[in-house]
Structure formats: C-alpha cells, structure tokens
Chains A and B, each alone.
Chain A
C-alpha cells in the first residue's frame, strides 16, 4: 500500500514539475508576443511613406518622418562595418590558422572580454578617444563605437567557421604547391564563406539596434547630415528621444521606428537560418 502511495506521489511530482516547466516556457513567450503585438499595433499606423522620406518637423508640429535617422543608421552601420569587418575577419583567420599557442589563447580570451563589455562603456571609450580630442560629436565617433562592438562577434564566428573546414582541404591545397596565404583565403575562407557571412549579418543586426554607444558619440541630429565629423541622426536615438517626449505624434513615430528595427532584425534572423540550413545539406562527403 505504502509503495503504491509513494509511487503516486512520485508520478504526480513528475507531471507537476514537467507541467511547471511548460508553464514557465509559456510565460516566457507572453512578453515576446506582447512586444511584437504592441510594436505592430502602435507602429504600423505611423508607418507610411512620409516616415521614410520626410525629415523631422519642428517641435510641436505634427507629421514629418525619420528619413535622416534611417539614412544615419545606414551610414553608421556601414562605417562601423568598415572597421569591424576587416579586424574581425583577419583576427578570426589568425585564431583559426595560427592561434594555437599562448598568444592565440590571450587573443581569444580578450575577444571574449570585449564581447562582454557593455555597449555604453564602449561609447564612453569612443567619447574619450575621439570626441574629446576632436572637440565635437561626430558620425566617426559613433562608427568607431559600433565597429568595436562588431569585432568580437565576427572574430568568433569567423574562427569557428574556419575551424570547421576539414584539415584535408588545407593539405590537398598545400600538396598542389599552393602557397599558404592563397590556400587560406581562396580555399579555406571560401569554403567557410557561408558561415562567415552569417556571422557578419549577426553582427550587423546587433549594432543596428544599438542606442547607448551613440548617445554621446554620434549624438543626434534633427537635420540631414552634411559631413561625417558632425553629429548624425540615428533611428535608435530618435526612438529614444521621441519615446520619452510628451508628444503623441512623436511617440507614434517612435513605435514606427521600433517596428522598422524589429522587422530588419527578423528578416536578418530568418535569412541567417536559411543560410546555415543549406550549408548542412551541401556537405555530402
């Protein structure tokens, strides 16, 4: 009798705890659903042609758009990538092909350290490195901050993808009398290119959504940028400024901006999933 009772207790414990896990998972999905729902519901109405083409109107005047902010984000991301991509890819190549010693371990460790640095701290560093000496906020400063943020992600994915290329291809290339640098770039990197591009897209998605490091580097700009060594508008900072403002119109535009951001990231995520999926199907050996 006791045996059955205890067994029932254990069985119900079984269902209870598994049930709790499922409940927990559902609880976690609720905010995700709500965020997507609200962004869509509140952002879609304000998402019109004007949003993409018009400039912000002066304070208090309704209407206008965030064309300069969208352009600004594209410029900042593009410039940041000019810094982050070469450094990340070359460092990834180093770690994969040459980084098996102590120096490699140090670099790998510091890349992880860099990855864990809060983005606002990176903004502070960009401020002291660039804004202070040049005496003004600029797109360059913002781009440097974003570029630094990209490096760890790209370095790590590049290294991982390159390591996944089997040694036998390297050996086959060397045995043909192909020099090491050609072998690395034109065979190893080429083979891993799908995964590397995925890493790049991941990094771009991350920095496109960053606000904190831009707050005191690129600052913001209600007007179209004229040069790159002045403050420049960005979608994220505009969302922040508009979101905390008292104007309904601006708040609606903030949500529209959030919708644009989320859509961009969603598209990139799905594209990345596609890219990695087809990679696995390609290897038939």
Chain B
C-alpha cells in the first residue's frame, strides 16, 4: 500500500508556499503598521509643523483661542513627572529586587512576585480613580502642608496645597512603574553568576557587600529597566490626567498643577475644533511617539545586552 503519490505531494508543496507566504505577509504588516503610524501622524501634523517649525517645542504659548501653540509646558510636565516617578521608584524597586532575588525564601518569593505583577495589571483608570479620591486628599490634607512648612522657602515646594499637581502625578507614576523596574531588576540580579557572589563572600565580605557587587555587575540591566520604566511613565495617560490638574504652565513648584503630553491629548483632543488645533495635538502625539520609541529602544538594548551576556535568550 503506497501512501501519497506525486500529485498530492506537489499540492502539499503549494500549501507550504502559501503558508510561508501568509506568515511572511503578516510579519510585513507589522512593519507597514509602524511606518504607517509614523507617517499618519507626520502628515496630520503638517499645518503646525509648517507654521511653527521647531519653535513649537520651545514655546510655552498654548492658546487655542488665538490658535497659538507651543508644546513646552507639556514636554516639561512629562519630563518632570516622570523624573519624580523614577526618583521614587528606582530605589524601592531595587530594594524589591534584592528581596526577591536574595532574601526571600521560595515560599515568600513566589507569592510576592505575583503580587508585584498584580500591580502591573491594574488599569490606568483605576490608578487614576484611586489617585484622585484617595491620594490627592491625603496630599492636600497631610503631606503637602508638611512639605510647605518644611521646605516652603524653596521654589520647589512653594504655593498652595491643592493636592492635585505635579507631585501627585509623580507619585502615582512611581507606583505604576515599580513593577516593571522591580521584575526586570530581579531577573537581572538572578542572572548574576553565583561565582561572583561566592568570590566576594570567600574574601570575607558581608552578605550585603556581596549583594552590592551583584548590583554593580547588573548595573546596565538595572539602568535599562529604569529607562523602560521612564518610557512607560512618559506615555501614561489616565492616571496622570486625573491627578495632575491639567493646567498647561511651567512652574518650579511641585505643588502646582501641570500638564503632560499624554494628559493634554486625553483632555483636549475631542474639543479640538480648528485644523491647527488638531494638528498641534497630533504633533504632540508624534513627539510622544518618537520619544517613546527612542527611550524603549535604548532600554531594550541595555537589557538585551545584559541577558545575552549570561546566555539568556533575548
């Protein structure tokens, strides 16, 4: 009994070609999609690009009524809120990574990892809701008056305690980017060869000192994870827009309301009436896109190079 003959076999060959063709085509679709996204935003922002050129990024005049647009307040808001988030999140995340990687016994480490990942799964809008109804009143009532009394003379903590503002946004962002920095740092720490730690211990160092050596060894991976967190913070929208106050302006005080690139898009896009207004917003979206892509690429390269080194898969 003979199975299969030449003609069936040739048909299979055609099916194979078709299959290969389809998956290649879909992969190409992804390439096309990303290029299309960039192109669409570039094209739709032509009016403001032509009118304002590069001064768009350096002007803080955001006046839709007068059709004057400058993105500086939003760039400022994004940068400062994300930096606050990094400053708060990185030390804590490294602490979490150390606990997960070195201190916690397996029966604590697994549920703890799971719980940290839960933080990552909470939707942005829920963070926003909680931020607005719980964090902001706490800041307004307890934290900010304290900060004003302690540091009110400096420009960073001057002003009235509204609760909403840059500080609130930075804090909420910090909570949101904790999981990603912590989990990648934990993975990177776990990848440190035992030999490194053991060598340190054999030389008589304390456990903490050997941990410091491990941290130093994983430095680029941890930095990479921080940059990834930064990229995530740049793009966060709903949580930020509910606690930052949405007032375009540049102020040194962390207690003042502000606005970020993402939050202005959420707030004003549906109200944008004139073509120039929409174009300005699309140009902000394009900026956010380019920044996010750059930051993520740098971060991925750093993390990738570290995990590659130790024989991990990219």
Contact = CB atoms under 8 A, between A and B. Distances in A.
Interface of A: 10-11, 13-14, 17-18, 20-25, 27-29, 31-32, 34-35, 38-39, 42, 86-87, 90-91, 93-95, 97-99, 103-104, 106-107, 109-125, 127-129, 148, 151, 155, 163, 177, 179-182, 184, 205, 208-212, 215-216, 219, 236, 239-240, 243-244, 251, 254-255, 258, 261-262, 265-266, 269, 273
A205 B121 contact: yes
A99 B207 CA distance: 44
Given A24-B92, A216-B270, A120 B27 contact: no
Interface in B20-52: 20, 22-24, 26-31, 33-34, 36-37, 40-41, 43-44
A265 B235 contact: no
A41 to B, nearest CB: 10
Nearest to B178: A28
A162 to B, nearest CB: 11
Nearest to A7: B206
B15 A22 contact: no
Contacts of A99: 27
Contacts of B23: 90-91, 93-94, 97-98
11 contacts: A14-B208, A32-B115, A38-B134, A86-B26, A117-B289, A118-B236, A118-B289, A128-B41, A179-B13, A239-B125, A254-B129
Interface in B233-287: 234-238, 242, 262, 265-266, 269-270, 281-282, 285
B141 interface: no
Contact of A113 (B13, B237, B297): B297
Given A90-B26, A94-B24, A215 B103 contact: no
A259 B211 CA distance: 40
A243 B15 CA distance: 54
Which applies to chain B's interface (DSSP): helix, strand, loop or mixed?
A: helix
Interface stretch (B57-65, B68-76, B94-102): B94-102
Contacts of B127: 35
Q: Which 6 A-B pairs have the closest CB atoms?
A: A118-B235, A209-B123, A24-B95, A116-B296, A181-B19, A21-B95
Interface size for chain B: under 10, 10 to 19, 20 to 34, or 35 or more residues? 35 or more
A269 B121 contact: yes
B68 to A, nearest CB: 21
Nearest to A39: B126
B99 A261 contact: no
B129 A243 contact: yes
Contacts, number: 258
B313 to A, nearest CB: 8
A34 B130 contact: yes
Contact of B295 (A31, A111, A116, A255): A116
B237 A120 contact: yes
B16 interface: yes
B95 A124 contact: no
B119 A32 contact: yes
Contacts of A266: 118, 121
A269 B118 contact: yes
Interface in B201-218: 206-209, 211
A181 B22 CA distance: 11
B134 to A, nearest CB: 6
Given A35-B126, A114-B34, A121 B116 contact: no
Contact of B96 (A24, A110, A117): A24
A21 B103 contact: yes
A112 B29 CA distance: 14
Contacts of A114: 30, 33-34
A186 B231 CA distance: 39
Given A121-B285, A215-B269, A22 B235 contact: no
A121 B288 contact: yes
Given A94-B27, A177-B4, A180-B16, A209 B118 contact: no
Nearest to B208: A14
Contact of A18 (B36, B43, B103, B288): B103
B155 interface: no
B132 interface: yes
A118 B234 CA distance: 8
B133 interface: yes
Contacts of B209: 10, 14
B147 interface: no
Contacts of B223: none
Contacts of A14: 206-209
